[in-house]
Amino acid sequence: MKILRLLIGEKPYALPISFIREILEETDYTPVEKAPKDVLGLMNVRGQIVTVLSPAASLHCSDSKETSHKRIIILKRNSDLPEQQHFQDGQEGTAEDLYAFQVDKIGEVVEINEDQLKPIPGNTPEFDATFLTAIARIGDEVIPVLHLKNIILQEKQEERAI
């Protein structure tokens, strides 16, 4: 399995590369009035409207003021994924709409084995564990792997509450 290492705030995280549609250097989006705190706005990507989310808000990470390394990661829709991939790598697919995450810095793509993925420790606060699928062990580092669908669902639940 390949994962993309990234930073959200100052914290390292990872995403399974198989759920990523593309990465954009352009981080311009249109803010949406009265949107939930984790919705940064909307952007037009080659005629398709994409909701840009801030995983930093869901994960309670401080937002980096440095903007030169920020990137937009556009996620694949469920319909873009082969059926068997919906539940791959601890994920439960993404969503039918196009979503993107703004991250503070993109790192390297790393190939890991299944034995390098460990379950979320039992002492992890439930709130944090909701947004993670596993912990990747790479050498001496432990890197949380984001649960894409739960971060997206958080946005949808807050949207309905408005």
* The pLDDT of residue 161: 47
Are 2 and 110 a contacting pair, CB within 8 Å? yes
Q: Residue 47 above 60 pLDDT?
A: yes
- Give the pairing of strands 20-24 and 11-16: unpaired
Tell me the whole-structure pTM to 2 decimals.
0.86
Q: What is the pLDDT of residues 104-147, one digit of tens each?
A: 999 999 999 989 999 988 888 776 788 999 999 999 999 999 99
More confident residue, 158 or 78: 78
Alpha-helical regions (H) of 23-145: 55-59, 126-130
Are 77 and 98 a contacting pair, CB within 8 Å? yes
* The pLDDT of residue 162: 41
Are 7 and 73 a contacting pair, CB within 8 Å? no
Q: Residue 90 above 90 pLDDT?
A: no
Q: 107: closest CA among 136, 79, 86?
A: 136
Q: Which superfamily does 2-161 belong to?
A: CheA-289, Domain 4 (2.40.50.180)
Domain limits of the chain? 2-161
Alpha-helical regions (H) of the chain: 55-59, 126-130, 148-161
